């Protein structure tokens, strides 16, 4: 007697679904036709994504921006001399951009509790 194994999902299917969940990088325009780019979750290890999302939501903006922007992008942001209000707006937009991924992780963690 042989057991028939049924595969319920392929890796290609998982990859396709995962790409639909991730929002891609957040790109913020700056004065002088400059821009800064926050990480693309699809380009990161999943553990690193969890750390990134936690930092963006929970750490002071100065710390999370310095950690997650490239050195050159962080310098471009500093050179723009943004006000606290402008930094707060950027942070809110970054959080909203990555919010869907954070919400999914929150749901996953809540289901484990």
Residue 22 placed within a domain: yes
Tell whether 6 is covered by a domain: no
In percent, the amount of the chain with pLDDT more than 90 equals: 50
How sure is the predictor about 106, in pLDDT bands with cuts at 50, 70 and 90? low
Structural domain boundaries, residue 46: 11-112
Model pLDDT, residue 110: 46
Q: Which residues pair with 15 in a beta bridge?
A: none
* Position 1 in a domain: no
39, 52 contact by CB (below 8 A)? yes
Encoded tokens for 75? 């310098």
What pLDDT does residue 20 have? 74
Q: Residue 4: is its pLDDT beyond 80?
A: yes
**Residue 9 — φ and ψ, nearest 5°?**
-155, 140
23 lies in some domain: yes
Position 105 scores a pLDDT of 60
Tell me whether residue 68 is in a domain.
yes
DSSP output for the chain: --PPP-----HHHHHHHHHHH-----EEEETTTEEEE---GGGS-HHHHHHHHHHHHHS-HHHHHHHHS-HHHHHHHHHT---HHHHHHHHHHHHHHHHHHHHHHHHHHHHH-
Asked whether residue 4 is domain-assigned, the answer is: no
More confident residue, 86 or 17: 86
Higher pLDDT: 14 or 88? It is: 88
Which is nearest to 39 in space by CA: 48, 87, 47? Answer: 48
* Residue 95 within a domain: yes
Number of structural domains, the chain?
1
What is the pTM (predicted TM-score) of this model? 0.74
pLDDT digits (tens, 9 = 90+) for 81-93: 999 999 999 999 9
Q: Give a yes or no: residue 97 inside a domain.
A: yes
């Amino acid at each position: 007697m042989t057991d028939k194994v049924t595969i319920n999902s392929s890796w290609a299917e998982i990859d396709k679904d995962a790409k639909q969940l991730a929002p891609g990088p957040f790109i913020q325009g700056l004065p002088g036709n400059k821009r800064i780019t926050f990480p693309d979750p699809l380009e990161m290890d999943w553990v690193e994504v969890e750390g990134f999302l936690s930092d963006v939501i929970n750490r002071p903006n100065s710390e999370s921006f310095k950690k997650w922007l490239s050195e050159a992008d962080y310098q471009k942001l500093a050179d723009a001399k943004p006000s606290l209000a402008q930094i707060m707006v950027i942070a809110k937009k970054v959080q909203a951009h990555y919010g869907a991924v954070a919400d999914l992780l929150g749901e996953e963690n809540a289901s484990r509790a």
